[in-house]
Structures are given as structure tokens and as C-alpha cells.
Structure 1
Amino acid sequence: MIRTRIKICGLTREQDVDAAVAAGADAVGFVMYPKSPRYVAPERAAVLARRLPPFVTPVLLFVNEELSKIVAACAAVPGATMQFHGEETPADCIASAARVQRPFLRAARIPLDSPTDFDLVEFASSFKAAQAILLDAHVEGYGGGGKTFNWSRLPPSVNSHLVLSGGLTPANVTDGILQLRPRGLSLAVDVSSGVESSKGIKDADKIHQFVDAVRAADRQLAENNHVPSSSSTGLPAT
């Protein structure tokens, strides 16, 4: 069974990092954008990241940041993946990746009302050096603002690994995975406000509910894709 990878983003407290790890998150995100209510300084992100066990990846989210500050933040958090969420060009992202020798994700800001106006295939092609394209809602400012775009209007096939974000909650993530899993090379999910009690403050119960909903989607996909063999049915193969 394919396991959907999970990132819990916007962490600011030790107990939230611990809750994400306990629930089975594959990655945790720290926001390096000072205008965000979930902002943490690189030094604070370093303290929180030291709580992570092996194979749980820290991710540093940047918005139109200077290269020198990106380098300093990555030095403070060894092993972090970068996530670019502003107006960064492919050249900007590649330059940062080359400088710090880290992989990066690139956020695609999908219009809320008319996703077909955004050429995701072309965007993914432009950022082919990215480890994945993160799909978020285009709202005022940067970040999805807890809004969900129309998943069904995305192109049926994108030659990239995809990360679904923007307005995900324990109630809708299963449906999001079922709709988008076939559209990219793989699908992961990224949640922030959907598992919070207030901005920047995570709710451990909601984190566990979110992870449970993701696993439910994985089980449903596995059941839908299962084709009984002759040995399991007792019938000869045709």
C-alpha cells in the first residue's frame, strides 16, 4: 500500500513538534516569513528541530527572502528542506539550492475560483528542479489562509511530485487525496491551520485525527486498486 507522506506546518512550540512526531508525521514546517503569525526565528527553529527523531524532515518556509538569510537559516537547521512560497523564479530557487546543497519545494498559488486559469503543467515544467510542487490557494498575502481551491479543475496529469495544501482538515483530506493522487507522480499532504486551536498553536487531537484521515484514504485507494488473483478467488486466470 502506498503511504501518503504528511507534513505538519507552522509549528512554534515544543509540544506541537512532539505531537506531530507522535502522530506519525514525515515532515514538520517552520515559517521563516516574519509577517506570518506562525513565524519563528532561525534560532528558535533550530531548537525545535533538535527534537526531531531520525527520518522526520524539517522544512523551512521562505517568502522572497534574501539569499544570505536563507543560507543562515539552513545553517541553523541541518538537514532542512527549503520551501519557497513567494515570487521566487526558477533561477532564484536553483541558486539557493546550489548554495546550501538542499532540496526545495516550490509553492504554486492556485486561484480559488478558476484553477484552470493557472497553468500548473507549465509551472511544474518551469520548476522541474524542485523536489515537489506544493498546491496552495492564492489569497491576499502569502500562504493559503486556510482556503481550499477547486481540486477537480486541476489538470489530470502533471509530471511532478505534488503536495496538496490549502484549507486541509481532518474532514476533507481523505477526499483531497482520492481526487488528486492520480494526477501527479506522487501525492503528499501539508496542513497548518486545519490542525490548530489558534494561529500558531496546534491541537494534538486534531493532528492525530488528520493523520488517521490520511491513512483512511490510503486504505481506500488500496482496496479500490486491489484485483483478486486466481489464487485468491479459486478461479483460473483468464
Structure 2
Amino acid sequence: MRVKICGITNNEDAQAAVEYGADALGFVFAKSPRQITKEQARDIIKNLPPFVSPVGVFVDEKADMIKEICDFGGIHTVQLHGNEQPSYLKELEGYTLIKAFRVKEEDDLKPLANYRPHAFLLDSYVKGSPGGTGVPFKWEIARQAHKYGAIILSGGLTPENVREAIRVVKPYAVDVSSGVESSPGKKDTLLVKRFIANAKG
């Protein structure tokens, strides 16, 4: 099972996640308690070993700004976590694209049919919050999304529930942020270790 640790804000957390087996690290450039500058991200990314993918997380950002930030930091995977339209994805051709959708009920999956990213990330719907909510949604709904493409499961995952979530959904990957934090933007290395071990175990 592939694991992405999202909301990385410092080198210590990044290196701990890598040591425990993370496959990808998420850097949030949108307004958030976990927001990071392109300079901070680049300083962390340059210390990452091969086969660990940095992912830039954006919410309704202009394509030119995304390209500037990603090219500056050496980021090749872009996660779009806002209300970006299908046509917008064409402006980011050349990047590996993840399109996030916030899910509350099965009807929330219908728009996925209009998109062609490399993977879909399914997150919990919480009014006014684009992500990092710590609230799970009904995993049975996520199972219905496989017909649209590769699924990255997110939303309220913790070391305690990730194994069951994987059993139910059988996703391509799992993504966690607040579920392994001691405070917003600061990871608890023990929780990171347990989460990755349980996801891959």
C-alpha cells in the first residue's frame, strides 16, 4: 500500500516520514494551518531520497502560479483540492495530476466522470474546509469510485482505522494529515510510524 503524508512543514517531519516508509509527502501551498512557502518546500525537498515523491497541494490557484512553484521546488505531482474544472487540468499537462473531491454521499462521485487525472483523492466533506478535517466519510461510497480511476483515500484516517479503511475500499493509496499530528502542521513521529506500519502491514 502506498502512503502519502500530507501537510509537511519542516525537514524533521519529512525525514521521519521517509524513514518509516512514506512514498509521498504533501506540501500545502494553499491557505491553511499547514501552508508552506515555495522556499521552505524546496529546502525540504532537496533532502529527499530517490523514490519519495513531493506533491504540491493547491486550491483554486492559477495554473501559471502552480507551474512557477512546482518548477522552483522540483515538484512533478500536483494535487488540486478546490473547484477546478475539467478544462483546467489541460493547462497543467506534463505534471502528474491528482484531483481531490470532497465526499458526503454517493451522488458526490458523479462529477468524477468528467475528469481525467492520474488519480482521484477522496476526502471528507466539511463545510468551509477544503481538507485536513480529521473527519472520515462512509468508506463504502469510496468503493464505488474505482470505475473512474485510481483512488487515493483520505479524510479522517488514523493509525487505528487505516487498516480497516484499506480492507473496505482497496484504494491505490492512502493519504493522512491531521491523523498523525500533535498540532496543525506538526507531525507526531510515533503516529506517523504506526500509521505507515498499519497501512503497509
Interval of TM-score (by shorter of Structure 1 and Structure 2) = over 0.9
Looking at CA atoms only, which structure, 1 or 2, has the larger radius of gyration? 1
> Any conservation in 2 of the 1:28–1:58 contact (CA below 8 Å)?
yes
Q: CA deviation at 1:127?
A: 1.3
Q: Which residue pairs with 2:162 in the alignment?
A: 173
Deviations 1:217-237 (A, max 9, x none): xxxxxxxxxxxxxxxxxxxxx
Q: Which residue pairs with 1:187 in the alignment?
A: 172
CA 1:170–1:60 in 2, change beyond 3 Å: closer, same or farther? same
Pick the aligned partner of 1:8 from 5, 8, 22: 5
Q: Which residue pairs with 1:38 in the alignment?
A: 34
Q: Which residue pairs with 1:148 in the alignment?
A: 136
> Any conservation in 1 of the 2:112–2:148 contact (CA below 8 Å)?
yes
Deviations 1:165-203 (A, max 9, x none): 00100000001000001xxxx520000001100000001
TM-score by length of 1: 0.80
> Any conservation in 1 of the 2:124–2:135 contact (CA below 8 Å)?
yes
CA 1:69–1:151 in 2, change beyond 3 Å: closer, same or farther? same
> Any conservation in 2 of the 1:135–1:165 contact (CA below 8 Å)?
yes
Find out whether 1:116 has 2:106 as its counterpart.
yes
Pick the aligned partner of 1:159 from 128, 133, 148: 148
> Any conservation in 1 of the 2:145–2:151 contact (CA below 8 Å)?
no
- Cα distance in 2 for partners of 1:215, 1:75 equals 31
- Cα distance in 1 for partners of 2:42, 2:27 equals 10
Equivalenced residue count is 199
Q: CA deviation at 1:56?
A: 0.4
Deviations 1:138-158 (A, max 9, x none): 112211411101112342742
TM-score by length of 2: 0.94
- Cα distance in 2 for partners of 1:202, 1:50 equals 20
Find out whether 1:76 has 2:76 as its counterpart.
no
Q: Which residue pairs with 2:98 in the alignment?
A: 105
Aligned-partner SS, 2:152? strand
> Any conservation in 2 of the 1:83–1:107 contact (CA below 8 Å)?
yes
Letter of the structure 1 residue corresponding to residue 52 of structure 2 = V
Aligned-partner SS, 1:72? helix
Gaps of 5+ in 1: 217-238
State the percentage of identical aligned residues.
Answer: 40
Q: Which residue pairs with 1:202 in the alignment?
A: 187
- What's the C-alpha RMSD, in Å, of the aligned pairs? 1.3
Q: Which residue pairs with 1:126 in the alignment?
A: 114
> Any conservation in 2 of the 1:177–1:187 contact (CA below 8 Å)?
no
CA 1:55–1:67 in 2, change beyond 3 Å: closer, same or farther? same
> Any conservation in 2 of the 1:124–1:158 contact (CA below 8 Å)?
no
Letter of the structure 2 residue corresponding to residue 94 of structure 1 = K
Q: CA deviation at 1:80?
A: 2.6
- Cα distance in 2 for partners of 1:108, 1:62 equals 13
Q: CA deviation at 1:124?
A: 2.7
- Cα distance in 2 for partners of 1:206, 1:109 equals 24
Q: CA deviation at 1:116?
A: 2.0
Letter of the structure 2 residue corresponding to residue 105 of structure 1 = I
- Cα distance in 2 for partners of 1:209, 1:141 equals 26
Aligned-partner SS, 2:148? coil
Aligned-partner SS, 1:152? helix
